[in-house]
Structure 1
């Protein structure tokens, strides 16, 4: 009788205290289930019992502390520990193992020499971030750390709001408020005067007036008062950094079926039907409604996206059980919206749905564009080197679909409570700088946190159902899909390997594959402003892919 391996059992319970261990746990599960002849193996049943127990323990452990943890996660600073060699050993909001840059090393050396704390503000595109650097010796004296590490605390702040509140409280003029804002950013009066386009003497006059009205008679006291303002302790308003959260529309089609979808961009724009994989995570992470709408308006693009993926379980908003049924409902929706013969744009695991629709209803779509497409029929020979999502979907879910109902509740809760560590792990294993930059980008990290805030019990059920669909064998003939198809795939993709896209392109009679050098699976998050227009105006064979150091819209707004 085969028993469950002790290292897997330990890994299940270890995940309760360290969400970053999930990739190793899923790889171990994949290794374990691959040789099993039946999911009724005794060890399989034992492991499922352990997942049930661990999930119950997780709920019990977090039921009383979760509100506090959520508050700390949203209001507390990000914490980075740096060892004596200048290497990041712990990071609550990013990757570890990288060396700090030269400017930070210089600041750290000065802090250590003086035995003092250093603090400063960096601003970019009206986005401000406060940094506090605490040397090891001082951190130990203050009881902040028992580790051999320096501490860097960072947080986003809305300095403009602080200045506005301070100015209102002390009845400052508009000119004084403008100078105060620039002075707080630079702490250099001459620089602030230059940025306000006034003389240095005028700036001194304004500053003396601010002293008189506020009661703070020196530059040091004034800056201290601003930095100790209550609003500095609160998180920055996230009006433009959250997931898209576009207004969802519910149509009752002429056949009586409900259909949930949303649309972005001008209604007169050139339409694209968008399909994202795994509950639309990519679309939710690319930007806020205003930001995305502005780009789509400039490019005259109307993005139409269904809110609920194709499902084998009939439910409100997804009553179809076949791609033909899904296509029939889309035909009615497109008729109501006044669009026709439009392209499909898919990302990641949405490719299988896009291909299924093109097979069932080729009359609806002019072409397909598949970005970072996953191919269910392809199994990578070195699958152990792939990302944990590949292990979950292409190995565990395919061999052992029953286990998903036990794994996913615990995995979803772990991701919700510790998404920063998941992102840090993804950055650590990424095979290219572009992918690492995405998983360490502050704006992406904030959006993924907000996405996890909405990951409730219903979403977990939808997530499980979708993974089962992606793991299932393809039910349509790829060779019978004749619509023009363009595939765009990074050569450093470890979620859906490039070889799978090459396999797809070889099976599809009218497909062209464009390889994107030094890009990974999530490149769409950064490069969406470049990729969306390609769905409408496909490139030729001479297409020049975006450079891997371009970074795109995500980073422009960080």
Structure 2
């Protein structure tokens, strides 16, 4: 599809063509081919799952200098092109902030929002942002404060070697159906190069999101794994404390990739919203059974 400013956004759809619309916002570096690997999950729940490449990934036009808030406007641009009025949104990892930005910027369009294993803003007051974060992300966080050329060079060098993943992540990613999906999604996402990846990391790691989280009024569900070394759980706890309508579920034995196991319950909540929320200005944390 073509945006009002003439950019292309590459869109993919899964599940039921006439189902309940749910947007999935991919992680970094991924794209429109990323999603839960069992597509029958979407058809079984009657979901029309909509994904798209953020600018610079896969088939979408680059947008250097973009902020997280700009991704919120792209969500609505895709919804408008598809003739959708109201819909739910969820994002994983780097997609989580974009999902929250969508709820903050377009509360009249979004019914519920979920964010799994996601980052807090780099300028989050009181949060030691890189504490407990895997070494590769700490390096990226340092480079993100420089410039785009430095980030592109860093990613071209750093991505040439497989990252050393914590055991909790490696066990999930070793599953054939997850590995195959992620390999295809990654290959398509970086097919044009690492420019979109660089822009994503700078937007997430290097500059303010342009979002007032306190303004979010729609119901919010957060999920995070206690053992996450990619994005430490402290990020989720910070988000929960600063989102007035949020509930947070922490999985004690879960890592970053644990979001795959958390997706079915997340989708059911997005459809039905049957989980109670705390009163305005207060967040609660629940712990999923081990």
- Does TM, scored on the shorter chain, surpass 0.5? yes
Aligned length: 278
Q: Which residue of 2 aligns with 1:528?
A: 263
- Equivalent position of 1:408 in the other structure: 155
Task: Identify which of 112, 115, 119 aligns with 1:367.
Answer: 112
Aligned with 1:474 (options 201, 209, 221): 209
Identify the residue that residue 138 of structure 1 maps to in structure 2. none
1:276 to 26, 34, 45: 26
Shift of 1:539: 4.4
- Indicate which of 120, 135, 150 corresponds to 1:388: 135
CA distance in structure 1 between the aligned counterparts of 2:62 and 2:198, rounded to whole angstroms: 17
CA distance in 1, matches of 2:3, 2:209: 28
1:165-188 Cα distance to aligned partner (Å, 9 max, x none) = xxxxxxxxxxxxxxxxxxxxxxxx
CA contact (8 A) 2:2 2:9 kept: yes
Distance in 2 of aligned mates of 1:259 and 1:273? 14
How far 1:302 moved relative to its partner?
0.8
Tell me, yes or no, if structure 1 residue 438 matches structure 2 residue 172.
Answer: yes
Distance 1:483 1:539, change over 3 A: same
Deviations 1:30-62 (Å, cap 9, x if unpaired)?
A: xxxxxxxxxxxxxxxxxxxxxxxxxxxxxxxxx
TM-superposed CA distance for 1:322, in Å, is: 6.2
Alignment partners' CA distance in 2, 1:475 and 1:369: 19
Q: Higher helix proportion, which one?
A: 1
Distance of 1:318 and 1:267 partners within structure 2: 30
Residue 465 in 1 paired to residue 212 in 2? no
Give the distance between the partners of 2:77 and 2:184, measured in 1 at CA: 33
Residue 280 of structure 2 is aligned to residue 538 of structure 1: no
Give the direction of change, closer, same or farther, for the CA distance of 1:499–1:283 in structure 2 (3 Å limit). farther
Q: Alpha carbons of 1:486 and 1:460: their partners in 2 closer, same or farther (altered >3 Å)? A: same
Higher RCO (CA < 8 A, seq sep 6+) = 2
Pick aligned residue for 2:232 from 475, 497, 505: 497
How much is the aligned-residue C-alpha RMSD, in angstroms?
3.5
CA 1:266–1:479: 2 relative to 1, 3 Å: same
Query: Which structure 1 residue ranges, 5 or more long, are not aligned?
Result: 1-250, 416-421, 549-558
Return the match for 2:48 from 278, 302, 326.
Answer: 302
CA drift of 1:475 comes to: 2.1
Residues 439 and 478 (structure 1 numbering): CA distance in 2 closer, same or farther, change over 3 Å? same
Kept in 2: contact 1:310–1:326 (CA 8 A): no
- Which position in structure 2 is the counterpart of 1:518? 253
TM-score (norm 2): 0.79
- Give the equivalent residue in structure 1 for 2:17: 267
Residues 279 and 309, structure 1, Cα contact 8 Å, conserved in 2: no
Give the TM-score normalised by structure 1.
0.44
SS at match of 1:284: coil
Q: Mark the runs of 5 or more structure 2 residues left unpaired by the alignment.
A: 278-284
Between structure 1 and structure 2, the one with the greater Rg is 1
Q: Paired residue for 2:282?
A: none
Residues 456 and 259 (structure 1), Cα distance of their counterparts in 2 relative to 1, 3 Å cut: closer
